[in-house]
């Protein structure tokens, strides 16, 4: 096809100016109520939840990374006829507000609420369809009063209780969070004082009650890593609880007989127990320690308090411990074994005491080596049931089906598993043991010695002890004026107005609880509150909760894989047991995004100074480009260091979509082929090719949206726009296939880049004299499979696994036809040089052919 016309100068079309169109459409959408959800109509409901932000002050690019693809999902689902509910709120209690208050002498509420106001404004710039009518701010008494109400219900149901627990304590600043304890020296971040451990009475929620149920993921779709991490976090182990007794002391001063319970996953190794270890915090340590050992043991126990749990559990760190100068009696054989105290045993796990079997446990082995303790093998492979006591250079921990007990008295010779059960059975008959299950999961410590949180609604009465605040007196308000007095200690503890309160029972003077709740309480039910944020007579609206939850899809950062995502499941089960909700799980599906790090590869935070502000990028390129770039950067679940490199390419793409839609006939002076169809295509072929490209793109893009593969979704739309650019200015441009392609391109792009597509859609309609309606109210288009099909395809041909040629065959060619085409290829004939392939492999239904030639 020859080009007869001179290429004319590019038509002057109006420039793509996001700053001019974006605010206009955002205002229009608000008028239209595009973001509003009719909650009374739960037909085709789609509750889309995104983790509410902490109001740190500014929205940064990381918030956009989480929120804008979520908005694209919302818009995509609306185009599928769903009634989408996409609420937003603020996780407004927590440490940073207090830090700001202490440092800058600002009221935490003022600091928080001014940040909220700023972030509301910034969130609106995304062009996201958040339903602001549903907004929840957790530091609002109308929200946190219900935390208190739930707490009272938990208390009544026996799900909340009080117990002593150690905190990191600074003599000047009180309880410290982990991040406030600095360095190996463990010093206070504010005053530099040495941090101690202090035992405080604190509030717990009895969530271990749900441990087994939490291991059942059948009603919640988690990404595999999250499911695995939660499973490991809960850490169910089966085994036995075995009762050892303290032996009479050597000097005869103590008769012995104190019970020392141990938990073991390996009761089969009981005959190999050569010593016993108590956690430094174990209550029997003080009781059993021999007088001459007391000084050393006390010193060790003090030292152990300085180590973090992570350090204590490290398998790399050299084992430490001291003998307490007392023995225990192994119930299975009456042997006396020495008792040690060592920090690799934790008070909070199992019974806080272990029987040590160095032959079959790595940590015990290491400890035995260090202290010259005997190692006795009691389990061996069935084929070689001989003791290797002297020869063992490491613990034999392998636990297969094919092992037998040795050196185990009457149990010798039994298969290990069976032997373990037999030993527990025998002990049970003696009243010295029983089968047991232990979990790594601990009850939820909700007490915080802080001001900026939900006050725990109880009163301490000298006569009646702990008295719940009567429901009618809720909320227990945080005092508005707060004096930090320049220290980190919870100011509630010196606020006499807050503290002094009459006992609800007898009216006598009593004192309020000053601990506040963990902010993970706030985030454990906020999606229920979104459904009725201003409800006065209860925390949630049971009918709406029933109609709209479990949440269809929850999106948020992968850093919450265990804690928040587990606490909220626990909370839901507690609410269910109180009869408040009818569901086992809060959400049906969860997707975890990766995290956007600062340009330095570190977590974005104000203190590091690596926060990327999106405002500047929005000014330069517009919200659509920023949204699309964040989706295009890489897989959504991956995240990575922030870099704006490449954002220009995305902006160029939008400019090309603009030009294609408004000016299909333009010919680029820089393109030597401008206005001509691709070689080998007549007009009919070109029209079919364009249509095939359009519908293949639609098919793939639809699948990508559904799988949240936004990066490849954008890539495929870029490809389609490149194809359209190739046909721009040709005889095909502006024709029905072209028109369909542009229409579908805009529809496919609409969820991701809502403003530019709305603008172009409006102009298209106007150009055709049709009445305006929003592109975001259009239906998602249907794929025409017949059009997407191609008539021929290329089959790569390998010889011994290396691609050497490609043959083109009809799309419906069968294996025999492909084989014939392959063997007819001159290049393949030349490579075969007369040899016959030993095997011909047709892979993936004719996707590829591999000729295997030996010799």
Partner RNA sequence: GCCGGAGUGGCGGAAUGGCAGACGCGGCCGACUUAAACUCGGCUGCCCGCGAGGGCGUGCGGGUUCGAAUCCCGCCUUCGGCACCA
Using CA atoms, how far apart are residues 319 and 547, in angstroms rounded to an integer? 56
Q: Which of residues 432-461 bind RNA (CB under 7 A)?
A: 440-442, 445, 447-450
Residue 648 binding RNA, by CB under 7 A: yes
Instruction: Write down the least CB distance from residue 474 to RNA, Å.
Output: 22
* Contact call for residue 487 and RNA (CB under 7 A): no
What sign does the dihedral 763-768-771-776 (CA atoms) show? negative
CA atoms within 13 A on the CB side of 720: 32
Residue 398 as a binder of RNA (CB under 7 A): the answer is no
Q: Which of positions 668-687 make contact with RNA (CB under 7 A)? A: 668-674
Binding residue (CB under 7 A) for RNA from 40, 164, 183, 224: 224
If one asks whether residue 17 binds RNA (CB under 7 A), the answer comes out as no
How far from 444 is each of 54, 210, 448, 521, 569, CA to CA, in Å?
Answer: 22, 12, 12, 10, 12
Please identify, among the stretches 27-35, 78-86, 236-244, 599-607, the one whose residues bind RNA according to the rule CB under 7 A. Answer: 599-607
3-state secondary structure of 808: strand
Residue closest to 605 by CA, chosen among 56, 51, 50? 56
Nearer to RNA, 322 or 659 (CB): 659
Closer by beta carbon to RNA, 783 or else 848: 848
CB of 790 to RNA, least distance (A): 11
- Residue 474 tokens read as 């809720």
Residues within window 25-64 making contact with RNA, judged by CB under 7 A: 54
Question: Is there binding between residue 803 and RNA (CB under 7 A)?
Answer: yes
Q: In DSSP terms, which residues pair with 47 in a beta bridge?
A: 85
Q: What character string, x for contact with RNA (CB under 7 A) and - otherwise, covers 698-717?
A: -----------x-xx-xx--
State the minimum distance, in angstroms, from the CB of residue 303 to RNA.
19
| Smallest distance, RNA to C-beta of residue 580, A | 24
Question: Would you count residue 179 as binding RNA (CB under 7 A)?
Answer: yes
Residue 532 or 850 with smaller CB distance to RNA: 850
**SS percent in the chain: helix, strand, coil, step 5:** 40, 20, 40
Q: Does 609 bind RNA (CB under 7 A)?
A: no
CB of 65 to RNA, least distance (A): 12
Member of 12, 164, 178, 472 binding RNA (CB under 7 A) = 178
228 binds RNA (CB under 7 A): yes
Q: In this structure, are strands 848-852 and 792-799 parallel, antiparallel, or unpaired? A: parallel
Q: Which of 389, 589, 725, 740 binds RNA (CB under 7 A)?
A: 725
Task: Give the nearer residue to RNA in terms of CB position, either 570 or 758.
Answer: 570
Q: Which residues pair with 510 in a beta bridge?
A: 501
Q: Minimum CB separation from RNA for residue 96, in Å?
A: 6
Which residues have C-beta within 8 Å of that of residue 574, sequence separation ≥ 6?
154, 159, 205, 207, 210
C-beta of 311 vs 613, nearer to RNA:
311
Contacts (CB under 7 A) with RNA, residues 817-846: 839, 841, 843-844
Q: For residue 95, report the phi and psi dihedrals to the nearest 5 degrees.
A: -60, -45
Quote the CA–CA distance of 98 and 709 in Å, as a whole number: 39
- The answer to whether 334 contacts RNA (rule: CB under 7 A) is no
- Dist CA 208 CA 348 (whole Å): 13
**Of positions 18, 62, 69, 96, contacts RNA by CB under 7 A:** 96
Q: Which of 800, 811, 817, 820 binds RNA (CB under 7 A)?
A: 800
Q: Which is nearer to RNA, 424 or 647 (CB)?
A: 647
Stretch touching RNA by CB under 7 A, among 35-43, 76-84, 173-181, 772-780: 173-181
Distance CA 160, CA 681 (A): 75
Residue 267: name the closest of 418, 383, 403 by CA.
418
Q: Any contact of residue 601 with RNA (CB under 7 A)?
A: yes
Q: Where do runs of H (alpha helix) occur along 611-735?
A: 614-621, 623-632, 647-662, 683-706, 710-727
* 505 vs 599, beta carbon nearer RNA: 599
422 vs 657 by CB, closer to RNA: 657
Cα 26 to Cα 13, 20, 72, 722, 760, distances in angstroms = 24, 11, 15, 29, 15
Considering only residues 79, 100, 102, 167, which one is a binding residue for RNA as defined by CB under 7 A?
Answer: 167
Which of 41, 463, 722, 779 is the binder for RNA (CB under 7 A)? Answer: 722
Q: Which of 32, 42, 95, 688 binds RNA (CB under 7 A)?
A: 95
> Is 555:594 a contact under the CB 8 Å cutoff?
no
Least Å distance, CB 673 to RNA, is: 6
User: 511-530: which residues touch RNA (CB under 7 A)?
Assistant: 518-520, 523
* Least distance (Å) between residue 443 CB and RNA: 8
Number of residues that bind RNA (CB under 7 A): 103
Binding of RNA by 145 (CB under 7 A): no
Quick one: which of 139, 62, 40 has its CA closest to 96? 139
Cis before 550 (ω within 30)? yes
Residue keyed to tokens 């007490």: 447
Q: Are 454 and 521 in contact (CB under 8 A)?
A: yes
Round to whole Å and give the CA distance between 70 and 49: 8
- Give the C-alpha separation, 793 to 810, whole Å: 6
In angstroms and rounded to an integer, the radius of gyration of the C-alpha atoms of the chain is 35
Q: Which of 429, 802, 833, 855 binds RNA (CB under 7 A)?
A: 802
Q: Under the criterion CB under 7 A, does residue 393 sit at the interface with RNA?
A: no
Residue given tokens 């297969």 in the structure block = 400
Q: Work out which of 16, 47, 76, 93 binds RNA, going by CB under 7 A.
A: 93
Pick out residues in 528-567 that bind RNA (CB under 7 A): 558-564
Name the one range near RNA by CB under 7 A: 144-152, 292-300, 307-315, 531-539.
Answer: 307-315
What is d(CA 384, CA 382) in angstroms, rounded to the nearest whole number? 6
Whole-number Å distance between alpha carbons of 260 and 345: 14
């Amino acid at each position: 096809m020859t080009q007869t016309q001179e290429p004319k100068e590019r038509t002057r079309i109006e420039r793509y100016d996001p700053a001019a169109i974006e605010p206009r459409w955002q205002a229009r959408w608000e008028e239209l109520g595009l973001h509003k959800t009719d909650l009374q109509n739960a037909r085709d409901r789609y509750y889309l939840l995104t983790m509410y932000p902490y109001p740190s002050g500014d929205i940064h690019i990381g918030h956009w990374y989480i929120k804008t693809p979520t908005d694209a999902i919302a818009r995509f689902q609306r185009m599928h006829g769903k009634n989408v509910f996409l609420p937003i709120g603020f996780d407004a209690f927590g440490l940073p507000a207090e830090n700001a208050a202490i440092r800058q002498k600002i009221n935490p509420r003022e600091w928080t609420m001014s940040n909220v106001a700023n972030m509301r404004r910034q969130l609106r710039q995304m062009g996201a369809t958040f339903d602001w009518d549903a907004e929840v701010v957790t530091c609002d008494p109308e929200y946190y009063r219900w935390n208190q109400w739930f707490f009272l219900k938990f208390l009544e149901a026996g799900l909340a209780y009080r117990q002593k627990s150690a905190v990191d304590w600074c003599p000047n600043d009180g309880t410290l969070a982990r991040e406030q304890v600095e360095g190996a020296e463990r010093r206070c971040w504010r005053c530099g004082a040495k941090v101690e451990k202090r035992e405080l009475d604190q509030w717990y929620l009895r969530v271990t009650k749900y441990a087994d149920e939490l291991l059942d993921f059948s009603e919640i779709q988690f990404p595999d890593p999250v499911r695995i991490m939660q499973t490991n976090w809960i850490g169910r182990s089966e085994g036995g609880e075995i009762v050892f007794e303290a032996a009479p002391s050597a000097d005869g001063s103590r008769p012995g007989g104190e019970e020392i319970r141990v938990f073991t996953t390996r009761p089969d190794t009981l005959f190999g127990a050569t010593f016993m270890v108590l956690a430094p915090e174990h209550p029997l340590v003080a009781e059993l320690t021999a007088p001459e050992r007391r000084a050393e043991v006390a010193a060790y126990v003090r030292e152990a308090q300085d180590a973090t749990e992570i350090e204590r559990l490290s398998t790399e760190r050299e084992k430490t411990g001291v003998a307490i100068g007392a023995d225990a009696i192994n119930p299975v054989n009456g042997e006396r074994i020495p008792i040690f105290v060592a920090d690799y045993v934790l008070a909070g796990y199992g019974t806080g005491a272990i029987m040590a079997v160095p032959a079959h446990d790595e940590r015990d082995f290491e400890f035995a080596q260090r202290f010259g303790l005997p190692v006795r093998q009691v389990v061996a492979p069935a084929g070689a049931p001989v003791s290797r006591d002297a020869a063992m250079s490491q613990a034999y921990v392998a636990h297969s089906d094919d092992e037998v007990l040795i050196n185990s008295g009457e149990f010798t010779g039994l298969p290990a598993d069976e032997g373990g059960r037999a030993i527990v059975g025998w002990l049970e008959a003696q009243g010295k043991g029983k089968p047991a299950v232990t979990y790594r999961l601990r009850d939820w410590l909700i007490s915080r010695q802080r001001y900026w949180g939900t006050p725990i609604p109880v009163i301490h009465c000298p006569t009646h002890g702990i008295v719940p605040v009567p429901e009618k007196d809720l909320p227990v308000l945080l005092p508005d004026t707060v004096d930090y007095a320049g220290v980190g200690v919870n100011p509630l503890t010196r606020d006499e107005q807050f503290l002094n309160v009459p006992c609800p029972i007898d009216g006598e003077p009593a004192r309020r609880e000053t601990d506040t709740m963990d902010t993970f309480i706030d985030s454990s039910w906020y999606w229920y509150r979104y459904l009725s944020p201003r409800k006065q007579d209860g925390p949630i609206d049971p009918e709406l909760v029933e109609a709209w939850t479990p949440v269809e899809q929850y999106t948020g950062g992968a850093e919450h894989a265990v804690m928040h995502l587990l606490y909220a499941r626990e909370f839901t089960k507690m609410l269910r047991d109180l009869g408040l909700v009818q569901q086992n799980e809060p959400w049906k599906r969860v997707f975890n995004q990766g995290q956007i790090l600062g340009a330095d590869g570190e977590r974005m935070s104000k203190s590091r100074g690596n926060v990327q502000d999106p405002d500047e990028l929005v000014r330069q390129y517009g919200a659509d480009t920023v949204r699309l770039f964040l989706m295009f950067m890489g897989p959504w679940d991956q995240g990575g260091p922030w870099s704006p490199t490449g954002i220009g390419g995305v902006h160029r793409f939008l400019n090309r979509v603009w030009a294609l839609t408004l000016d299909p006939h333009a010919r680029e002076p820089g393109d030597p082929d401008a206005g001509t169809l691709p070689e080998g295509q007549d007009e009919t072929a070109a029209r079919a090719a364009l249509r095939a490209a359009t519908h293949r793109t639609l098919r793939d893009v639809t699948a990508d949206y559904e799988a949240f593969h936004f990066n490849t979704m954008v890539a495929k739309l870029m490809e389609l726009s490149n194809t359209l650019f190739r046909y721009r200015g040709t005889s095909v441009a502006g024709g029905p296939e072209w028109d369909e392609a542009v229409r579908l391109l805009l529809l496919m792009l609409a969820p991701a880049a809502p403003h530019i597509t709305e603008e172009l859609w409006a102009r298209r309609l106007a150009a055709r004299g049709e009445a305006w309606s929003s592109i975001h109210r259009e239906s998602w288009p249907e794929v025409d499979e017949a059009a997407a099909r191609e008539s021929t395809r290329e089959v790569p041909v390998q010889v011994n696994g290396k691609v050497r040629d490609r043959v083109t065959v009809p799309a419906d060619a069968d294996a025999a036809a492909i084989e014939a085409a392959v063997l007819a290829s001159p290049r393949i004939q030349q490579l075969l040089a007369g040899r016959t392939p030993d095997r011909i492999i047709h892979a993936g239904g004719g996707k590829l052919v591999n000729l295997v030639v030996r010799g």
